[in-house]
Amino acid sequence: MNRDFQTLTVATPQPHVMLVTLNRPDAANAMNTQMGLDLVHCFEDLNLDPGDVRCVVVTGAGDKAFCAGGDLKERRGMTDEAWQRQHLIFERMVRAIMGCPTPIIAAVNGAAYAGGLEIALACDFIYASETARFALTEVTLGIMPGAGGTQTLARAIGERRAKEIILTGRPFGVEDAHRWGMVNHVLPAADVLPQALATAGTIAANAPISVRQAKQSIGRGADMSVWDGLAFEIEAYNRMVPTEDRREGILAFNEKRKPQFKGR
C-alpha cells in the first residue's frame, strides 16, 4: 500500500503494526481536504490489501492535539457546493476507518474535538493522555456531527449522555470519558503512544484471521438481536476451523511454545 501522504506519516514501529500520525501540528492536526483524502486512501488501501499489517495505531503529531476537527480556516467562504463536496470526502474517510477489518487503536495525545473525536470514535478503542479533552462542538457552528459522531458516541456511552454532549456542544475531560466507557485507559502523556503500541503488538501476535473475525462479530453483533448475533458468531467461528493458524495454535500450546501465526 502507498505510505507517502501529504498530511499523514505512516511508519512500522514494530512487526505487523502500522502507526498513522495525523501530521499538521501547526494547525492542531485539523482536518483539511487533503487530510480527508489521505485518510480515505490510507484506510481503503489497507482494507483492500493489508499486507502484513495486523494492527493500526492512530495518533496526532505534537503534544497538544490529536485532531482539532475540521479546518475552519479552509472552510471560510466555502460555497455550499464546495462544502458538500468536501464533506463527502470526510464521510468516505470515516467509513473507511470503521469498515477496516484490521483492529485500530486511537492514541489520543491531546484535544480531540469535532471531527477529531469522530476519528477516535471510529477506531476500535481509545487510549488517552491525562491532558486529553473531547467535544463535539458542531451545533455551536450551525452544523451537527456528520462523520459518524451521532452514531458512534451513543454506542460508546449511551443515548442520553450522547444527547447531552452533542446538543450542548460542551467539552468534557478525560476522566469523564473514562468513567463513561468511551476511553479504555488514561495514561501520562509520555506513556500513551508506547502503551497503545504495546497493546497493538499483543494483538498483532495473535492469529490475524481470528482477530479480524472476532472484531467483525462484535461489531456486527451489536446491531443484531442476541440470537442473530449468536448465529453470526458461529459463522465467523467456523471460518477459523480449516485454517493453518488454528492447527498451529493448538500444536504450539501442546508443545509449550509460542505459536507462529501466518494468517492462513
Catalytic residue flag (residue 164): no
Integer Cα distance of 89 and 148 in angstroms? 13
Catalytic residue flag (residue 235): no
For 146-163, letters b (16+ CB in 10 Å) and e give bbbbbbbbbebbeeebbe
> From the candidates 74, 81, 138, 175, which is the catalytic residue?
138
Q: Where are the alpha helices (DSSP H) in 57-182?
A: 72-75, 80-98, 115-122, 149-157, 159-168, 174-179
Q: Grid coordinates standing for 81?
A: 457546493
Measured CA to CA in angstroms, residue 25 lies from 156, 204, 209 at distances of: 28, 29, 36
Q: Grid coordinates standing for 198?
A: 504495546
> From the candidates 91, 118, 164, 175, which is the catalytic residue?
118
Indicate the burial class of 7 (C-beta count within 10 angstroms; 0-12, 13-18, 19 or more).
buried
| Residues 181 and 157 sit within 8 Å (Cβ to Cβ) | yes
The residues assigned a catalytic role are 118, 138
